[in-house]
Amino acid sequence: MMSPREAQLTQEVSLLREKTQLLEQENKLLRDKVDALIKRLFGASSEKLDANQLLLLLQGDDGPKKAEASSASCAALEAELAKPAPGHPKPNKPRRAPQPRVPEHLPAVEEVVDPVEVTNNPQDWRCIGQEVTELLDFEPGQFLRRRLIRRKYVRRDAGHEAPVIAPLSTLQERSIAAPGLLAQIITAKYCDHLPLYRQERIYATRHGVELPRQSLCRWLKLAVEWLQPVYEQIKAEVLATGYVQMDETHIDYLSPGHGRTKTGQLWACGNPQGGVFYTWQLGRGADCVANILPVNFGGHVQSDGYAAYGSHVAQSEAAITLLGCWAHARRYFVEARDEAPQYAGLILLQIRHLYAVEARLREQRAGPRLCEVVRQQESAPILERLHRMIEVMSRKARFTPKSAMGQALTYALNQWERLVVYVEDGRLQIDNNRIENAMRPAALGRKNWLFIGEAGAGQLTAVCLTIIENCRRWGLNSFEYLRDLLSRMPTMTNRQIKDVTPAAVAGMLAWQRPMAA
């Protein structure tokens, strides 16, 4: 029997052991976070895994978390990896025909260069041939003075009547900014990510034209006022599809009187097979989602696991179905593969099969009905197997909730009902990568702009990015489109707006383009 002193010491040792164990777990979690941060900053950004790399992970050791659940052996995993992806083997892409070094559609400027001997005494020489060397050259854009000469006329037989003159169809009276200059300013800032102060410097040093930044800001606001109806039309067309993908990113804005910038949110909402629009909000809560989606909007909304979308659906009276994103779920397991290679490798292998089905459907250009049938036959069994694996790992593998693998399993289970919705409808996508790609211009611009003007200037940015991104989606030259649109806007009616959106212009150009023989 222990004395009171021995019992006290034994209890203290037990407490110290528990405290040491907790500190070791905390130390491991902090090390994992530091490793993940270093990998994100300096490591490879690609998340793709080939079969050999995946097999190498699966053959690793998970350390103290030895599998208590039933898992496949390495031999079975090798056989699984050796199997071809679901569906037919991917055919080899035909090799592209060699393209000319200098594109043939460019205008040619010929320059004849004769030897000095010939130029000195041309009468003594006779030309017997020539050698042609083609070079690819470039001439920078240039400013020009566009003079609109409107002549006045009076009738010969009624000279006493008032003269007639053609109306002045400019965007703003007494403004010297022509549509081409406005298109250049918008394209340079929101497509090439050049802030206005850089444009001011370029115009002054390379072209000899002094354009104060205040004038550029004023002209940019003028252009957005004319582009607003086109923006509203794009927004209405996207929301009318009943299926949108949504994402958001932060952008700093100036807040006079506070001595520092504040952070707003640029939201993107688009249909993967159609257009996209941006909107500016000061926050990122459920009320912002309600401001973007109409009250009567019903359909599918695809996003990441951000809670604001679920809160909006719970508060909304409309019938909205939330979709998850398999790219986000997969990313958690990619980040956990160093911690638990066998477990993460098994999950990544099944997700790889899901994406193989989608890749084959895209190659076949399958319609919604065929996509739905194929997914029910091939993707649904994979999802059932994947769900069982995740549940077993979550119950028996003893991953701490804050570990990378624990977070990956928790995210997948919490999002599972949303992750399987895409199988039920062939119009839906397996992930929302398309809308995430649409956020890249804003992220690139943020690194160049550093911040935007006051809070009200955020919507100006949203309108311009909407036009630029839709031009990119539909394969249009954003500068040519904006110049043509701003030239036509003063004489257009509201009923004609639907015919000048990027989607409508791209469809018209495709219809006018002659078919290949």
Q: Strand, helix or coil at 476? A: coil
Q: Read off φ and ψ for residue 430, nearest 5 degrees.
A: -75, -25
422 inside domain: yes
Instruction: Report strand pairing: 261-270 vs 276-281.
Output: antiparallel
Give the pLDDT mean for 199-225: 92
Residue with tokens 């077993």: 392
Per-residue pLDDT at 56 exceeds 70: no
Which residues, 6+ apart, have CB-to-CB distance to 73 below 8 Å? Answer: none
365 inside domain: yes
332 and 418 together in one domain: yes
125 inside domain: no
Range of the domain at 195: 179-232+455-512
Please state, in angstroms and rounded to a whole number, the distance separating the CA atoms of residues 454 and 255: 6
302 and 381 together in one domain: no
312 and 333 together in one domain: no
Q: Give the pair of three-digit tokens for residue 252.
A: 């700093």
214 inside domain: yes
Nearest to 35 by CA among 24, 25, 27, 46: 27
Task: Name the burial class of residue 87, with classes exposed (0-12), middle (13-18) and buried (19+) by CB atoms within 10 angstroms of its CB.
Answer: middle
Amino acid at 208: G
413 and 442 together in one domain: no
> For position 84, what pLDDT does the model report?
53
Instruction: Report strand pairing: 320-323 vs 243-254.
Output: unpaired
Instruction: Report strand pairing: 261-270 vs 243-254.
Output: antiparallel
> For position 257, what pLDDT does the model report?
72
pTM of the shown model: 0.80
517 inside domain: no
Q: Pick the range with the lowest mean pLDDT from 281-290, 391-400, 444-453.
A: 444-453
403 inside domain: yes
Q: 248 pairs with which residues across the strands? A: 267
Residue with tokens 């394969």: 475
- What's the structural domain count of the chain? 3
Q: 246 pairs with which residues across the strands? A: 269
How many other β-carbons are positioned within 10 Å of the β-carbon of residue 448?
12
Distance of CA 136 to the CA centre of its chain: 32
Task: Name the burial class of residue 311, with classes exposed (0-12), middle (13-18) and buried (19+) by CB atoms within 10 angstroms of its CB.
Answer: middle
Task: Name the burial class of residue 164, with classes exposed (0-12), middle (13-18) and buried (19+) by CB atoms within 10 angstroms of its CB.
Answer: exposed
191 and 215 together in one domain: yes
Q: Give the confidence band of 35 by pLDDT, cuts at 50, 70, 90.
A: confident
Per-residue pLDDT at 308 exceeds 60: yes
202 and 259 together in one domain: no
Q: What is the CATH number of the domain that holds 278?
A: 3.30.420
202 inside domain: yes
Query: pLDDT for 409-444, tens place per residue?
Result: 999 999 999 999 999 999 999 999 999 999 888 888
343 and 419 together in one domain: yes
